[in-house]
Structure 1
Amino acid sequence: MPKGYWIARVDVADAEKYASYIAANREPLVEYGARLLVRSGAFECVEGSSRTRNIVIEFPSYEAALSCYRSPAYQAAVQFRRPPVAIADFIVIEGYDGPQL
């Protein structure tokens, strides 16, 4: 079964309030088996557009990734990052588990 991922690109306008979102999302992320792969590290946008923060979170399955996003605990956390605190592009995507190059 392929893993699931959250991929988010975020511009934070209020870092103090955004910290409340980070604190509130910990519980649902742990509950659904999340693993942080990318969390605002150095990057270079080589094509297209970007935001100031990039996040990639891995889940045991696509279903777990969707369930976490839709969970009441995570949806409560989301309220802490809504505009004007931050603007985000956010997708939940199924990983690829097929043949490699």
Structure 2
Amino acid sequence: MAKAYWIANVTVTDPDNYAAYQSLAPEAFRAYGARFIARGGRNDALEGRQTPQRTVVIEFPSYQHAYHCYHSEAYRQARNARLNAAEVDIVIVEGL
């Protein structure tokens, strides 16, 4: 089974509320076997939209793990905490 990856571009607009998201999200990631590949290091948009503050890449054991993590109750709570705290684009992509 191929691994899958979340690719998230994040621009934090309210650091205090974003901190609440950061305290809740790890529970969901642990439950679905996630492993961080990149999180907030130096990045540059070479094409397309402007560079986000943070780009995050998270590896999952499978596409199903990534999909179910995003739709889990634990991650739903984290997403709710993040409302109005960040502009976020998340894509799930299946690996080779």
Query: Shorter-normalised TM-score: what interval?
Result: over 0.9
SS in 1 for 2:78: helix
Q: Which whole-Å deviations, capped at 9, do the CAs of 1:41-66 have from their partners, x for residues lacking one?
A: 01122222221110000000110000
Structure 1 portions without partners, runs of 5+: 97-101
> Structure 2 CA distance, aligned partners of 1:48 and 1:65?
25
Shift of 1:91: 1.1
SS in 1 for 2:58: strand
Q: Which amino acid aligns with 2:40?
A: S
Q: Which amino acid aligns with 1:12?
A: V
Using the size of structure 1 for normalisation, the TM-score is 0.89
Shift of 1:30: 0.5
TM alignment of 1:27-66, pairs within 5 A: 27-49=27-49, 50-66=51-67
> Structure 2 CA distance, aligned partners of 1:69 and 1:51?
21
TM alignment of 1:69-80, pairs within 5 A: 69-80=70-81
Shift of 1:92: 1.3
Using the size of structure 2 for normalisation, the TM-score is 0.93
> Structure 2 CA distance, aligned partners of 1:46 and 1:6?
20
SS in 2 for 1:51: coil
What is the RMSD computed on CA atoms of the aligned residues?
0.9
Q: Which amino acid aligns with 1:63?
A: Q
> Structure 2 CA distance, aligned partners of 1:80 and 1:12?
13
Q: How many residues align?
A: 95
| Structure possessing the higher radius of gyration over alpha carbons | 1
Structure 2 portions without partners, runs of 5+: none
Partner of 1:11: 11
